[in-house]
Amino acid sequence: MWENRQAGRRFLFILGSSRAGNSEALARHAAAALPADVHQDWKRLSELPLSALPDTGNGEAGGSPQPSGNERVLLEATLKASDVVVVSPMYWYSVSASVKLYLDYWGFWMHMPQVRFRNRMRGKIMWSVTATADDPAKAAPLVESLKLSAEYLGMKWGGEVVGQGYRPGDILAEADAIERAKMLFQVGIS
């Protein structure tokens, strides 16, 4: 039931903003450079809200019911993906709350023996696309936390693009960020 049936590269774009903002604009430029036969799955977390994680007392999820609803949609999309692209604006030097909750579910899914989450994530590639209203160098904690999460699960780090933009559409004036976005997935894609 949880088996991964991949036929080629499958990119899952996890959108952590409630609107199509600067981070998503960068991600769309990056995705446009992918070959036509690469599958793209775009999931806006505000349209697939997750409930607060259940308190299991000891952090184990083994006795929890099978994932259902939005949790199941996101779990299945995550397991089917060869590449997970976290697309989030920077809030307080980290990802948005919805992305943080999604990543918290990764830890929950690791404790569900029937899912074999950690084993099935090993070897996948994680990427990051973010926009900040501040100096892009201040996004280092956000990027580093995603890199550490990927490393913990045995995933590869693909790379990141960080751009600067305050109001929606500001990023479009950042030619350097747009160019870096267009080149993001070119490594290893052929």
Let me know if residue 99 belongs to a domain.
Answer: yes
Among the ranges given (57-61, 75-79, 109-113, 127-131), the one the predictor scored with the smallest mean pLDDT: 57-61
Structure pTM? 0.90
pLDDT at residue 20, as a whole number: 85
Let me know if residue 56 belongs to a domain.
Answer: no
Average pLDDT over residues 79-101: 97
Q: Which domain holds residue 34?
A: 11-45+81-104+121-186
Let me know if residue 74 belongs to a domain.
Answer: no
Alpha-carbon distance of 177 to 92, in angstroms, equals 21
**Band of residue 4 on the pLDDT scale cut at 50, 70, 90:** very low
Cβ neighbours for 146, distance < 8 A, ≥ 6 positions apart: 86, 95, 126, 128, 160
Half-sphere exposure of 149 (CA within 13 A, CB side): 24
CA 58 centroid distance within chain: 27
Report the number of distinct structural domains present in the chain.
Answer: 1
pLDDT digits (tens, 9 = 90+) for 157-178: 999 999 999 888 899 999 999 9
Let me know if residue 153 belongs to a domain.
Answer: yes
Please, what is the angle between helix 175-183 and helix 22-32, to 10°? 50
Question: In the numeric block, which tokens belong to residue 115?
Answer: 């899912």
Closest to 89 in 3D by CA, of 166, 173, 184? 166
For every residue of 51-76, DSSP letters joined together read PPPP--SSS--TTSPPP-HHHHHHHH
pLDDT digits (tens, 9 = 90+) for 40-86: 999 999 999 999 987 665 555 555 678 999 999 999 999 999 999 99
Give percent of the chain with pLDDT exceeding 70.
89
Let me know if residue 134 belongs to a domain.
Answer: yes
Question: In the numeric block, which tokens belong to residue 63?
Answer: 């006795």
Edge-to-edge strand ranges of the sheet holding 83-87: 39-44, 10-15, 83-87, 125-132, 156-164
Let me know if residue 164 belongs to a domain.
Answer: yes
**Band of residue 190 on the pLDDT scale cut at 50, 70, 90:** very low
Let me know if residue 50 belongs to a domain.
Answer: no
Alpha-carbon distance of 178 to 141, in angstroms, equals 22
CATH number of the domain residue 135 falls in: 3.40.50.360
Let me know if residue 33 belongs to a domain.
Answer: yes
